[in-house]
Structure 1
Amino acid sequence: MDAGNNTGISEFQLLGFSEKPELQPLLFGLFLSMYLITVFGNLLLILAVSSDSHLHTPMYFFLANLSFVDICFTSTTLPKMLWNIQTQSKVITYKGCLSQMYFFILFAGLDVFLLTVMAYDRFVAICHPLHYTVIMNPRLCGVLVLVSWIISVLHSLLQTSMVLRLSFCTEMEIPHFFCELNQMIQHACSDNSLNNMVLYFAAMLLVGSPFLGILYTYSKIVSTILGISSAQGKYKAFSTCASHLSVVSLFYCTSLGVYLSSAAPQSSQASAVASVMYTVVTPMLNPFIYSLRNRDIKRALMRFSGMAALKGTIILELKKCP
């Protein structure tokens, strides 16, 4: 890798969604609200799971990890976009762009792997309920999360290192609201054939394979549910994986939409808009999807809210004491 290739480039321009000044306050308010809802919702879910001993199970352990990753995922792109809108600037430094791209790939990969791990957890719970506690022991849960982190870190390092070998023209404009990997590769001034090959191979291996794994586990889950004789038993079994299935469908459908929009002509703006679905909307909706259909989460949130209110009352009473 020739470090001198990139000495002519020090910053990029993130074009975002619109250059119209009258739309900037609306965009700022909209994305700030979505970001705060995402952080607050996922953080509340983490606190509810960690504070309730009844939720110290593999399913909720993975859910808490997913919520943490979703907070980091949105924090990789939205704060910079909000800052640029507020300061009326589109600039991101070369190093800042590489850092943003690295963490975006890292947390996107973790999202994929955690959703796959959660599908396996539901598969064991429904298809092998008598052996669930033996198979999904705390050690295996920790190993699955650790392996997900290791693979995601290595993949992100690989893709970022591959971008470092590329040369970029000065004053390069990125038609996106963050430094997206594919946009970076396509706008390079040097040969990007190797980068494209690595990108598509990694997508098939690290996104396609987990997706096929999820499809396989759910085919087994559906087969097992259909074999249950009672209607109540079928409903109970299906309800345990309905939330996860909703999140998986939302994540992969929006990701597929981004891929299709990027493959179409004059797609830069369409790709940026489509990317909002899986980078912002999906992490924001995840806590609501899991809490609205889950009685355990609802009870935990009520207990946590009650405890917080009680502590607040005690603190106020203590302050009143002389």
Structure 2
Amino acid sequence: MLDQSERGGFLGGGNRFSGAVSQIAAAGVLIVVFVALSIVAPSFLTADNLFNLGSQTSVNAVMAVGVTLVIITGGIDLSVGSVSALSGVLGVLLMAEYGFDPLIGILGGIAVGAAAGLVNGLLVAVVGLPPFIATLGMLSVARGLVLIATGAVAVFGAPDSFRLLGQGVVGVIPIPILLILLVAVCGHLVLTRTRLGRYAYVMGSNMDAARLSGVPVRKHTTAVYVLSGALAGLGGMIAASRISSGQPNFGEGLELDVIAAVVIGGASLFGGRGTVWGSLIGAFLVAVIRNGAVQLDISTFYQNVLIGVIIWLAVWWDSYQRRKLGAET
């Protein structure tokens, strides 16, 4: 097993410093955008809108935690949008068509996501497909399965109690916001307190060195994709609960927002760097931008352009920092 000093050797202090700077910068931008929208859009800074913002962000934020694990290993998961749709639809079908309890339906949806993640992980770790190709294929397969299962028609009929997952509150706090915190804490503990988390950073920093050091690369690569799929499944169930139905067209393009959140939050697409809290900052920044644009009646077309530019800047910064660190060493 790799000890802390070995892990530090793989990661490098400069790499960690660069990641911290990226997270601080993203947090600073989030604060600036939040304050600006509070001034120019009076309806933005209201309790109803803020709670709605938090609930809307829950789907992306939960999924971003799983994608963070994948990106830290140097992989990518383009399938989370389609997998979340498949999970949401099949979870609702379990309740509406087969009469299962909402808890079983939710767990079933999460299991569907985990199964899709397992396929992704095996294709990458065992078959040897590049993560981009493996998950791009799953994006298409999952979307096709959704349309086959529903005939491209929304699924209704889930019991009213299912709405609690996406619409319920504990006191005054929406349950989706509590789920963000729960998933984030668990994800943070996985990254910082478990062997899987340590090995994820090592594999992302140098896969060949990880193999030579005895890291069971196939096992842990598969595990991170399973977790990403399971959290995509949970995100799909939250989204289905929010609208009390399984929508076959849900999640189209959602993977771009999720990956954007992770990259904006300081994770490196080259692997070896990233944190759960940084990804949450990125998820809320994307959500605040989209929510604020709606408040200001700005077209979604312009929102997409802005998010794309932010992704360019985040990846450019990461590349610049890597070149700088390489020149110094």
With structure 1 as the length reference, what TM-score do the two structures score?
A: 0.37
With structure 2 as the length reference, what TM-score do the two structures score?
A: 0.36
Structure with the larger RCO, 1 or 2 (CA within 8 Å, 6+ apart): 2
